[in-house]
Each structure stands twice: as C-alpha cells, then as structure tokens.
Amino acid sequence: MSSADRTLSTQGMSITCPDGWRDASMLILSATAPSPSGITPNLVITREPLPDPETADRVARLQDFVDRQIDQMHTALKDFREVAHRRATAERPGVALTIEWTSNGIPVTQAITYAYADARTVVISTATASQSEFPQAEPQFLALLRSFRMG
C-alpha cells in the first residue's frame, strides 16, 4: 500500500482504494421483492465527477451535464420520454428530472435528481419503479431521500 492508498468502509465492509483509482461506490436500496409488474422498486445514489468546466457558472455547468445525460438516455433507453424537467436556477441549483421508458417490455418511471456534492462532483439519485406502481412507491422514495446525508 502506498501513502496515497485509502481504506473505504461502509456497512461492515472495507476495501483499499489505491492511488489512481477513485471511489465510485453507490448506495442502492430496494424493496424486498419485485412488485406485481416484475420491477423491484429501488433507489440508487451515485457520485459523478464533473468534466473540466466549460463555464464558471455553476448553474450552467450542472445543467450542461444533465443535458448531456438526457442526450445519452435518448439513445440508450427504449421509448424514452421526458415527463418533467425542473432546470437548475441560481435560487435552486439542483435539477429534477422524471422520465419514462420501457425495460424488457415493462414501462418504467424514474425520478432523477442532480445536486452538487462539491465544486467538482454531482450526486445523482435515481428512484425507479414500474409506471403503474410509481405513484405508490414515490412517497417511500421521498422519505428515503429526506433521510439521506453525506459525510
């Protein structure tokens, strides 16, 4: 182990992250069983490094990142559709996005939020359930997100 190595610990597990590697761990929570649709409601929280800034404006930088993600979703997700999109503003620098698409023949809804963790990192939360069951799962997703803390 070099002096730059660091040990990461969570939920009783640990691993050494060597120099030149980054912690790309995720927080994944899911219902204990699939719903009747076959989709297991779940919440995934990740951290993503932002590319070098093309602009110093934090709001524009975050929105550009999200817009690139949406472009990728259009290409990668079958029947992709944006349902709602609350763009970043100076007063509210986070982004909220709701999308629908089809996964293995099942219509899915995802509520995705993007917020700065620090100047170079975005925290992304993605809540997923089938379209028919999302309204019932959404209050649980919101309660989970209200309890989320970093640090």
pLDDT string in tens for the chain (151-residue length):
455 566 766 678 888 888 888 888 888 999 998 889 999 999 999 999 888 766 778 899 999 999 999 999 999 999 999 999 999 888 888 999 999 999 999 999 999 999 999 888 999 999 999 999 999 999 999 999 999 888 7
Structure token pair of residue 68: 């690139």
Task: Report yes or no on whether pTM surpasses 0.85.
Answer: yes
**Locus of tokens 């993600």:** 69
Show me where the domains of the chain are located: 25-147
The CA distances from residue 134 to 12, 34, 52, 147, in Å, are: 32, 13, 36, 20
Please tell me what DSSP assigns to residue 39. Answer: P
CB contact at 8 A, 85 and 62: no
**Locus of tokens 């490094």:** 49
pLDDT for 86: 95
Structure token pair of residue 50: 């932002």
* Domain range 25-147, its CATH number among 3.40.1000.10, 1.10.10.10, 2.60.40.10, 3.40.50.620: 3.40.1000.10
